[in-house]
Amino acid sequence: MRRCALTFLTCLIGTGCQPDASAPIIADNQVIGSVTHVRDGDTIEVADVPIRLNGVTCDERGTPMGKQATAAMHTLVAGQRILCTLTGRKSYGLVAV
């Protein structure tokens, strides 16, 4: 009986400790995760962590060119699993990569 309970507990703990596929992995100045949102042409969210692309400047979403930039970024990365190397700088309160 004790062995059965131990086996059950091990299985229960094991299933509860599986990593969430959508959760970002943040280590060594890197974020690895799925792109969950494209804010505009130079800002995305990786597993809901806002990331601003370093050295990329686009018009804002409300402008004609901004809409094109947002659509292009969406085509490139939406739903993709990506790795971002963080620069350590923040821009407009967002993590820059």
Query: For residue range 34-73, what is the model confidence (pLDDT) as tens digits?
Result: 999 999 999 999 988 888 888 889 998 899 999 999 999 9
How far is the C-alpha of 26 from the C-alpha of 16, rounded, in Å? 21
Q: Are 33 and 86 in contact (CB under 8 A)?
A: no
Whether the per-residue pLDDT at 95 is higher than 70: the answer is no
pLDDT by residue (tens digit) across 68-89? 999 999 999 999 999 988 887 6
How far is the C-alpha of 19 from the C-alpha of 3, rounded, in Å? 27
How far is the C-alpha of 58 from the C-alpha of 26, rounded, in Å? 26
Whether the model pTM is above 0.75: no
Would you list the domain boundaries of the chain? 20-96
Which is it for strands 25-27 and 81-85: parallel, antiparallel or unpaired?
Answer: unpaired
